[in-house]
Amino acid sequence: MADAGPPLLSVRDLRVQFGGAEVVRGVDFDVRQGETVGIVGESGSGKSVTALSIVQLLPYPHARHRTGSIRFAGTELVGAGPAQIRAVRGNRIGMVFQEPMSSLNPLLTIGEQIVEVLRVHRRIDRRAARARALELLELVEIPEARRRLNAYPFELSGGQAQRAMIAIALANEPDLLIADEPTTALDVTVQAQVLGLIAGLQKRFGMALLLITHDLQVVEKMAHRVCVMYDGRIVEHGPVAEVLRTPRHGYTRMLLDARPSGGPATVAKDAPIVVQARGVDVRFPIRTGLFRRVTGYLHAVRNVDLAVRRGQTVAVVGESGSGKTTLGRALLRLQPSGGQIVFGGRSVESLSRQAMRPLRRQMQIVFQDPIGALSPRLRVSEIVGEGLRIHRLGTPSERDRTVAQALEEVGIDPQTRHRYPHEFSGGQRQRIAIARVLVLRPSFIVMDEPTSALDRSVQAQIVDLLRDLQARHALAYLFISHDLSVVRAIADQVLVMKQGVVVEQGSAKDIFSAPRHTYTRALFKAAFDLEAARSGGPASSEAGSAPGPATAPNTPTPVGRP
């Protein structure tokens, strides 16, 4: 560990305000050469703003630093001139962001997006830059790198896009890589691979890494030191092991406890079945050619059987594209499908839309994104009461009472029901979305990733709420999630899906204690142990053999400069 010498990056008394609101309130930390520092906090803690301040990427002059100094390799970056800061960005400091897809220009090829960052900082011709771009794509282990050079972002998967982002960030062999939630938007197995890749490359290039994340697990695996941010301040910092083992600040303890805990409610063996599906099958036609003839089918869900009992949670686990959401939509008859679906003792798969309508009240859905799911132009009372109005339940004053009760039940102050969704936090909005479903007194609810867009501590609260509501109203849940720690806390039965097929199905207790299918094991390994990074990508380079914190910076760079 390079403990000696001045730090590579030194942040002192950094303050950031947007308009009148101060979001970073005096932050100090150092990053040394070759070291990994994690900044952990929840949304709104100021961690991303701190990261963007370093390369001065905030929307100035709306954003202001009232005080603060950011020294990078001896140069002051706060208030540095445009030319000076440009020479640092993309050259000596690389950045990787959370959403790889939207962080890449959709209209330029991956090759061009790498070439331009090379050519802006170095005097090399286009051909040399393209050759180097290819090397970089191979370095980040994108399969078929040569072909990907001419690919557009929309032709890549999320994981590949993030690898391309990393290639851009590393193009000029920076001294410092800032990764802002680099894996949050990715599937668990891909997360582990990408983190392994970053760790390996860091070691190989001997660069420092500033890792911004909300995920303590990621920090635990990757970082030497951690700073815990809360409300614009660093409330605790120190070596990772020490901070995680003996957290001194209440907020850190809360973060550590925030992993969803407890188990699912027990379900009586003879509880009546609410929803039963036999051989559910969904295909999407693929049309090609001049006349758009159907030339094949994308088999999104293949022959799935399941049953959800009163008061029971059946979880559907899988990565993006596995068909889990399509399955949920098929059960609700929002998606035409083959096979049989029995709801409340009645076969519903062939019912018309009109015939389905009275049943809709009893089968509801809660979506992942609580921001997109609530109309911004309606008041909370209107959003929650809409279903009652549509199904003509009660008089206006009765409806208003029902809405207030439902809000109270999900932990929202009924007095606030005349406000608009944007006045609530993400967790509160998800509670409102749950209340909207609850007012209709459904018997079956599809929960489509209801906690994925939320902070860890809020996730735990929502899981508690869902368990509580389930116990009180004997609700049947189909819980769609890729987050296994949440699933473990709520599910009684689990279905593991991969490419439309259920690869493993059974009681949660059995699957979590002894997963049988290799895919389930890989999924669990990736989720509960980032060591899986090693077995992830193909030959994650010899340096990637231990995707833990790099122990010493390697001086030679294996990729030849052109």
Partner 1 sequence: MLRFLLIRLAQIPIVIAVVSLIVFVFLNASGDPVQLLLPVEASQEDIAQMREALGLDRPLLIRYWEFLVNAVRGDFGMSLRARRPAIDIVLEALPATLELAGAALLIATAISLPLGIMAAVRRNGFIDAAATVISVLGQSMPVFWLGIIMIMVFSVQLGWLPASGRGHWTALIMPAVALGWYMNALMARMTRASMLEVLGQPYIRTARAKGLPEHMVVLKHAFGNARIPIVTIWGLQAGAMLTGTVITETVFSWPGIGRASIYALQGRDYPVVLAAIAVFTVMFLIINLVVDLIYFLLDPRIRRS
The reply on whether position 154 binds partner 1 by CB under 8 A is yes
Q: What whole-number distance in Å separates Cα of residue 470 and Cα of residue 555?
A: 57
Copy the structure tokens of residue 12.
């002192």
The reply on whether position 20 binds partner 1 by CB under 8 A is no
Residue with Cβ nearer partner 1 (177 or 522): 177
Nearest distance from residue 55's CB to partner 1, in Å?
6
The DSSP element (H or E) to which 485 belongs, if any, is helix 484-490
Binding segment toward partner 1, per CB under 8 A, in 150-158, 374-382, 485-493, 505-513: 150-158
Which of 91, 193, 312, 461 lies at the binding interface for partner 1 (CB under 8 A)?
91
The reply on whether position 80 binds partner 1 by CB under 8 A is no
Nearest distance from residue 208's CB to partner 1, in Å?
17
Amino acid at 160: Q
Q: What whole-number distance in Å separates Cα of residue 361 and Cα of residue 381?
A: 18
Copy the structure tokens of residue 106.
């959709």
Which of 165, 383, 480, 511 lies at the binding interface for partner 1 (CB under 8 A)?
165
Nearest distance from residue 155's CB to partner 1, in Å?
7
Nearest distance from residue 7's CB to partner 1, in Å?
22
| 3 state SS of 19 | coil
- Write out the binding residues for partner 1, residues 105-144 only, by CB under 8 A: 105-109, 116-117, 120-121
- Write out the binding residues for partner 1, residues 251-290 only, by CB under 8 A: 289-290
Amino acid at 61: P
Nearest distance from residue 62's CB to partner 1, in Å?
10
Q: What whole-number distance in Å separates Cα of residue 169 and Cα of residue 113?
A: 11
Measured between alpha carbons, how far is residue 555 from residues 78, 168, 463, 552 in Å?
A: 29, 21, 47, 9
Copy the structure tokens of residue 500.
């439309």
Copy the structure tokens of residue 234.
């660093």
Nearest distance from residue 99's CB to partner 1, in Å?
6
Nearest distance from residue 137's CB to partner 1, in Å?
16
Q: What whole-number distance in Å separates Cα of residue 90 and Cα of residue 76?
A: 17
Nearest distance from residue 113's CB to partner 1, in Å?
8
Q: How many CB atoms lie within 10 A of CB 239?
A: 12
Copy the structure tokens of residue 90.
């993309």
Q: How many CB atoms lie within 10 A of CB 135?
A: 17
Dihedral angle over CA of 58, 59, 65, 70, nearest 10 = 30
Strands 444-448 and 363-366: parallel
Binding segment toward partner 1, per CB under 8 A, in 9-17, 101-109, 131-139, 430-438: 101-109
The reply on whether position 207 binds partner 1 by CB under 8 A is no
Binding segment toward partner 1, per CB under 8 A, in 36-44, 88-96, 353-361, 524-532: 88-96
The reply on whether position 22 binds partner 1 by CB under 8 A is no
Residue with Cβ nearer partner 1 (52 or 406): 52
Contact footprint for partner 1 (CB under 8 A) = 55, 57, 82, 85-91, 94-95, 97, 99, 102-109, 116-117, 120-121, 152, 154-155, 165, 168, 289-290
